[in-house]
Structure 1
């Protein structure tokens, strides 16, 4: 039986050939050996390649079946019916590519609503890179790396809406994306910014409200709730932003974060982190 309301959000470049820690965890959370997996590769223009690659990996890790949700246009996304085709799916994996391809192809279609229904009933949904960014209600569409925060550092767009009040960034440390995530949090300090390194992931449990870090890197969390002041409303688009009082957390593997209380949970004392 699936754990209820889980999202597995991967920062991209997850290990495919070694221990495959993150992808193994996806299969485990989907029910383990024999799990029925659906692969959604609409983010990339070479869908067949991604579908074949992940199908091979998941079968090697114990999946029972792998169904490709092949979407070439919006009419394809409207052909999927939750009851007839997706009812027995245990886990859905959204590949990387261009997140705008995901939202423009799926938004408002039968498959879009099926994803929400499946998530609500407990089917785990995983996404890597673009598939990670698209999880949130508001997603990062594009932006600059290794730059200080400005109003033109990042552009935003509506995402799939599986997460509320959170914005996800991926390839975080590797591409120097702190500035653009800080810009978003400064725009609206209610938003929690989560930056996920490569070969690193978070498991978000909607029921408990907790987020757990797995993988080899770290997750950076920006909480702007207690920002004292910023100059966002008064400077030009190219000027560097001033932001004071934003909290920053850096959490490696096995650390947890409570998304409701916005507090890190120290798990060092636990002998076994389940």
Structure 2
């Protein structure tokens, strides 16, 4: 039996109530809007992210619309997101715009004047996770902007908040990964328009690339080839249960973990090698509370870091915490890249190495032996900050450098000792 979405989502508000306003919401929004990509797996008790979204949209009484367009189960996803925002004081309307939503025509919904007006009455938009192609194909079919998308863009231009988790974060840049789960496949050159990559909706502007589930899934390995292929100089990979607030030239990181900032302004590539390679990428890890200025390309650590311990490996009185010489056999493993960065910035050594390769290449892989050496190293501007105030051993790391070199990996990598 089909359940009407308006009945299921009890916290959704009628258009008349949205139009009436809220006494506690701020009357004015800033001149430019906020784009908030969230790295996925956002916990409903993550106060730092949920409360900040409501604050940015004007505070208690701020009106949000939720689009569960990407979701496999849009009724459930929409209701969960609406509940989370409502608990932080927002007024929430869940719009029936989703290809998987039974009884609703998504193609007609994006042209529905009543739904467009609900967006115009709002101060914030939240896109759910799921499959990002559903968002782009629904709101901009064939690359043509729908009236609903035009209203969302207008909300953003007027100073509103456009946020999205997982798939909702992927759409934030002008180019996005459409379906690219195989990170090694991307490193090996499988980067096809309309398959692995596609157009995004570009809420963060044309100069910043966004990726999500970043550290958990080792997605630095797919970000670097795309950035080179499409001419991006800056990219941010947001970790799960974390968010990046992009406002003008400023990025602020919130939530449970952090984000990796990739700067390719001075990076080079040797095209004659015929496979992916890279020299001189500058990478920084922004922990929760840290900021980044895209205009000056400067990391601004949080007050928690500034009030604790600066780690300057170039200082005369530097006393490194680590003295080991690690080698990361799976540099694309869960959080391996950021663990390597934290170790290196506080280490007597000047470089660390890691390897990316296919342990069990696919049968149709034309280059099963192709792997990549990742070399992280310090320069004169490399610096870090450490704090234990979050309950762990947490680093902010600015300006490490990365070379990625193709290598030949023996197949199989190992064999039984006794046959």
What band does the TM-score fall into relative to the shorter chain? 0.7 to 0.9
Residue 78 of structure 1 aligns to a residue whose secondary structure is coil
1:129 to 148, 156, 166: 166
Bigger RCO (CA 8 Å, 6+ sep): 1
Give the TM-score, by structure 2 length. 0.59
Residue 194 of structure 1 aligns to a residue whose secondary structure is strand
Q: Does the CA contact (< 8 Å) of 2:110 and 2:116 recur in 1?
A: no
Q: Deviations over 1:136-159 (max 9, x none)?
A: 111111224553823216721111
Are positions 1:253 and 2:253 aligned together? no
Which has the greater radius of gyration?
A: 2
User: Structure 1 unaligned runs (5+)?
Assistant: none
Aligned-pair CA distance for 1:187: 1.7
Residue 37 of structure 1 aligns to a residue whose secondary structure is strand
Aligned-pair CA distance for 1:260: 2.3
What residue in structure 2 maps to residue 10 of structure 1? Answer: 38
Residue 178 of structure 2 aligns to a residue whose secondary structure is strand
In structure 2, do the counterparts of structure 1 residues 234 and 142 end up closer, same or farther at CA, with 3 Å as the change threshold? farther
Q: Deviations over 1:219-257 (max 9, x none)?
A: 1111111013333x752xxx4x21001111111011111
Aligned-pair CA distance for 1:82: 8.1
What is the number of equivalent residue pairs in this alignment?
Answer: 262
Q: Deviations over 1:40-99 (max 9, x none)?
A: 111113211111111222111211x21112114222101146873333212111110111
What residue in structure 1 maps to residue 139 of structure 2? Answer: 106
What residue in structure 2 maps to residue 66 of structure 1? Answer: 92
1:172 to 214, 218, 224: 214
Q: Deviations over 1:203-229 (max 9, x none)?
A: 0112xx110011121211111110133
Residue 261 of structure 1 aligns to a residue whose secondary structure is coil
In structure 2, do the counterparts of structure 1 residues 19 and 223 end up closer, same or farther at CA, with 3 Å as the change threshold? closer
RMSD (CA atoms): 2.2
Residue 179 of structure 2 aligns to a residue whose secondary structure is strand
Separation of aligned partners in 2, 1:230 and 1:263: 27
Are positions 1:157 and 2:198 aligned together? yes
Are positions 1:185 and 2:222 aligned together? no
In structure 2, do the counterparts of structure 1 residues 199 and 83 end up closer, same or farther at CA, with 3 Å as the change threshold? closer
Q: Does the CA contact (< 8 Å) of 2:119 and 2:148 recur in 1?
A: no
Residue 248 of structure 1 aligns to a residue whose secondary structure is strand
Q: Deviations over 1:248-272 (max 9, x none)?
A: 111101111112232222444479x
Separation of aligned partners in 2, 1:270 and 1:189: 38
In structure 2, do the counterparts of structure 1 residues 59 and 190 end up closer, same or farther at CA, with 3 Å as the change threshold? closer
